[in-house]
Each structure stands twice: as C-alpha cells, then as structure tokens.
C-alpha cells in the first residue's frame, strides 16, 4: 500500500465512522437516536483511533489537510508531498461519506428535518456568527495540532505516534470545545462530505450551506499553521 492510498483509506474510515455516529444519533429510527453529544464525541474519538491505527505505519496517518500543512510548516513533512496527501484525504473523506449514506439511506428517508440531514455530513454553528465561528475552529484546531506536535519527537514521523493519545485528544476537544461549531478541524472531514451532500440524491435535503463552508476550511488551516509556528517557538 502506498502512502497516498493509505491516506485515502484512513480518511475514509475516519469519516465513515465519525459521520456514522452522527447519523446514528440524529436520524430517525436508528438504534442510537437522541443519544447526545457525548456519544458523538466518543464516536469521533474512536473514528480517529481506528483511522490512525490502520495506516500510521504506512503514511503517518495525517488524515487531515490541516495536519499535513502544519507538519510541513513545522519542517516535519516534505512540501513536495503536501498536494498529493491533501487530494487523497479529500477523496477519502468523500468516499467515507458516500458509504455512510448508503448504510443509513433508509434512515435519511425516514427523517423529515433537512437540517439534521445536513448535520450528518458536515458541521454547522450552534449560533451563527461567522467571526465567532471562525475563532472557534481556529482555537479547536490549534489545540489539536499543537498537542499532536508535542507528542511527536523531532526524530519521529507522525506514524510513530500511538493512536490512543490522539483519540483521547479528539475526545477532549469534542466535549470541551465542540459545542459552538461541532469542531470540524479538517477540510477533509467537513468539505469532502459537504460536497457529497450536494451531489447525492438525498431524500428531502436542503442546500449544503456554502455560505458557511469556508469557515471550517479557513479556520482549521489557520489554527494548524498557528500551532506549528507556536510549537516552533516553544
């Protein structure tokens, strides 16, 4: 398996399981309907654990364009490889969202609320205030990436890091900082599935909220770069 295929598969697993737990909580007639934010946060943490554990030895398990860019800024990843990794991650996010939709298709059909259907695919603000929402994404991603960089020795790649600390990190961010925007922290996790929401023939869907779509993209990349710079100073 090549690193690019590994990034595709790892990101697809992450989004399949992460968006899958959101579908299980939000959609009608599921076994986990209305089980709440804690279940979502735990599910996303396990999604990260499985994605990272599965491909870390092959690609380093970035699984996130913001992480890839931050590692390049920090001098821990070659800039020449950044574009390929990001493309693989975005395609993986789209593939994971597609499989999730296929699994939960009947539950999408049983759910009337179009906002909930969108929320299964991508994040949205609890209170819509784009400057504040942007700050939320910057802060959450800063915490994610600064902690990741702190876990990685200068002589190690991201793949040498155990998956469990990263999962616990995502769980902590989810329960502490996830209440404002849903803590996207990754274009592959948010923009990739949002594109699939727009393309798929989802029963009773609404628009894909493109007016907000830039927030998790710009916020996550900005937060990641700031974390890389801060870690360099540190």
Domains by residue range for the chain, with CATH: 3-233 (1.20.1080.10)
CA distance 73 to 69: 6
The first and second tokens of residue 125, run together, are 């603000």
Give the predicted TM-score (pTM) of the model: 0.94
Q: Which are the contacts of 155, defined by CB distance < 8 A and separation ≥ 6?
A: none
Which three-class secondary structure string do you get for the chain? CCHHHHHHHHHHHHHHHHHHHHHHHHCCCCCCCCCCHHHHHHHHHHHHHHHHHHHHHHHCCCCCHHHHHHHHHCCCCCHHHHHHHHHHHHHHHHHHHHHHHHHCHHHHHCCCCHHHHHHHHCCCCCCCCHHHHHHHHHHHHHHHHHHHHHHCCCCCCHHHCCHHHHHHHHHHHHHHHCCCCCCCCCHHHHHHHHHHHHHCCCCCCCCCCHHHHHHHHHHHHHHHHHHHHHHHHC
Task: Report the chain's mean pLDDT, rounded to a whole number.
Answer: 94
Note the Cα 60 to chain centre separation in Å.
16
Q: Which are the contacts of 162, defined by CB distance < 8 A and separation ≥ 6?
A: none
pLDDT of 44-75, one tens digit each?
Answer: 999 999 999 999 999 999 999 999 999 999 99
Check residue 1 and give its pLDDT: 87
- CA within 13 Å, CB half, 102: 7
148 touches 67 (CB < 8 A): yes
**Mean pLDDT by 10-residue block, N- to C-terminus, for the chain (234 residues)?**
97 98 98 96 97 93 97 96 98 98 98 98 98 98 94 52 85 96 97 98 97 98 98 82
Note the Cα 57 to chain centre separation in Å.
20
Check residue 69 and give its pLDDT: 98
The first and second tokens of residue 46, run together, are 């396990």
CA distance 76 to 70: 9
26 touches 107 (CB < 8 A): no
């Amino acid at each position: 398996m090549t690193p690019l295929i590994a990034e595709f598969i790892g990101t697809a697993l992450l989004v399949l399981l992460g968006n899958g737990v959101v579908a299980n909580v939000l959609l009608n007639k599921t076994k986990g309907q209305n089980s709440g934010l804690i279940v979502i946060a735990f599910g996303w943490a396990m999604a990260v654990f499985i994605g990272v554990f599965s491909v870390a030895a092959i690609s380093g398990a970035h699984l996130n364009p913001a992480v890839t860019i931050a590692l390049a800024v920090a001098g821990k990843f070659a800039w020449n490889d950044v574009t390929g990794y990001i493309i693989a991650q975005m395609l993986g996010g789209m593939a994971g969202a597609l499989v999730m939709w296929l699994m939960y298709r009947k539950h999408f059909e049983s759910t009337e609320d179009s906002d909930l259907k969108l929320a299964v695919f991508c994040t949205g603000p609890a209170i819509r205030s784009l400057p504040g929402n942007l700050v939320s994404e910057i802060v959450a991603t800063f915490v994610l990436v600064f902690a990741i960089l702190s876990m990685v020795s200068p002589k190690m790649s991201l793949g040498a890091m155990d998956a469990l600390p990263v999962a616990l990190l995502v769980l902590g961010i989810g329960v502490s900082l996830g209440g404002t925007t849903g803590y996207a922290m990754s274009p592959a996790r948010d923009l990739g599935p949002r594109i699939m929401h727009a393309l798929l023939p989802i029963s009773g869907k609404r628009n894909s909220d493109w007016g907000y779509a830039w927030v998790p993209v710009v916020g996550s990349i900005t937060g990641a770069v700031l974390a890389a710079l801060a870690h360099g100073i540190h």
